Chains A and B, each alone.
Chain A
Amino acid sequence: MAKQNKINNKANDIVIDNLKLTDNEIQSTSGDLILATDGTNNIKLKVNATTYADFFSSGAVNLPLQPSFFVYANANVLNQTGAGTEITVALNTEIYDITNNFSSNTFTAPVTGKYFLSACVGYSGLTSLMGATSLKISTSNQVYQVYNNTYLSTTTGTNGSHNACVITDMDAGDTASILFSISGGASNTADILGGPSTVPTYFTGHLIY
């Protein structure tokens, strides 16, 4: 006997206004919202064929369209700082940028929320006295600045790196970029490190909620 629903013993789907109850799914009749199970006990929130949220039977949750990016410098950039010049760090390669919110070394928040931001800058070409580095995550609401003073004056020529992380509040349309400087030298002869294999200089972010 063909399957029948238990409300009016008909084989039809049930439609209430623009909500339709059908096999494993509650959906709008226009298909722009579907709450579904997929036979493996996962729960999916979809718009038409696109999954927006995937709740696995284990309890893990995946949000494949949540804004997220990872960008890095793919080559060394010479003579950028050292005498205190502050630069906007150039990031020319994207590993991922889910909703295309990163452009021209700047991330633009697509919606209001809390964003995790993490930056790391690698550097080399230090000379004596280049001992103080400053890294800023500069957002529209706040500027986060931290300092790194490893004893570099005795390790001239070696590489170093400086990182910072924060979860910050951003409004839709707010921007974030990273600024970096090394001070103490006679001239701007310090280099920013880049490259695809070790990724010494990067900027990553993710909408947490």
Chain B
Amino acid sequence: MTQNSINNSSFGLTVGNISMGTNTMSSTSGDFTIEANASNSVVMKNGVTTLLSMNSSGIQTLPKQCGFIARRTSNQNDVTGDGTVFVPTFTAEPFDTNNNFSDPTFTAPVTGKYYFSVATTFTQIIAAMLTGTTKLITSNRTYTKHWNPFSAYTDTGSLNSSGQLFVIADMDAADTASISVTISGSTKTADFRGFAIVMSSYFNGVLIS
């Protein structure tokens, strides 16, 4: 029979609200647990919810860390091209771990550094559409990418052109982030591109630290 070396008891040890027993240190209320489980993973839990898991190879995951990706699955037609500031809306969320994205805005749940990746793809680009601006607008500041929507090849009108932006941004709790796109030089005939399967227009963000 297993016994502890303090009082030769077969029970674990409790000090204040910290309990130590087989493979586990936890609060007696069960809202915080560190354990090494049978597969040699180290797990930090709140109740039964795993917050951090490190497996026997040293690989760590944080399954509740906030992160999202929103995508467009169909076109939005005639949204810019004449300098109109277009705010894309999204039709699907492959993941939104803590439900912090409410189309078209992400709200930071905690203060930290957030990685954002934005892809804005358009079709029906014609010759005079030479200026594109994709913006990530956060509460602290706006990040801007200038790009050229038009090339000789896209003059056929049916092909696609993407403006992308990547940044790690500082956000405070409850700060928001959204995107806008402007294409200038012609008429309001550029279409915001969405596909059923391939992701060409998306808004992606995760808390890094």
Contacts and interface: CB of A to CB of B under 8 A. Distances in A.
A149 B95 contact: no
Contacts of A103: none
Interface in A8-50: 8, 12-19, 26, 28, 32-33, 45, 47, 50
B17 interface: no
B151 A50 contact: no
Contacts of A130: 153
Contact of B199 (A63, A66, A113, A143): A143
B131 interface: no
Nearest to A183: B153
A209 B36 contact: no
Interface residues of B, number: 58
A53 B44 CA distance: 14
B85 interface: no
Interface in B187-209: 195, 197-200, 202, 204-206, 208-209
A29 B147 CA distance: 60
B151 A152 contact: yes
B119 to A, nearest CB: 5
Interface residues of A, number: 64
Interface stretch (B19-27, B76-84, B101-109, B177-185): B19-27
B60 A209 contact: yes
8 contacts: A8-B6, A18-B23, A19-B21, A19-B25, A33-B40, A164-B164, A166-B117, A209-B61
Interface of A: 7-8, 12-19, 26, 28, 32-33, 45, 47, 50, 52-53, 61, 63-67, 99, 110-114, 116, 129-132, 134, 136, 141-154, 163-169, 183-184, 207-209
Interface of B: 2, 4-6, 12-13, 20-23, 25, 36, 40, 42, 54-63, 65, 67, 69, 94-95, 115, 117, 119, 121, 125, 148-154, 159-162, 164, 166, 195, 197-200, 202, 204-206, 208-209
9 nearest CB pairs, A to B? A131-B153, A65-B58, A209-B62, A149-B151, A153-B152, A146-B162, A52-B58, A131-B151, A15-B5
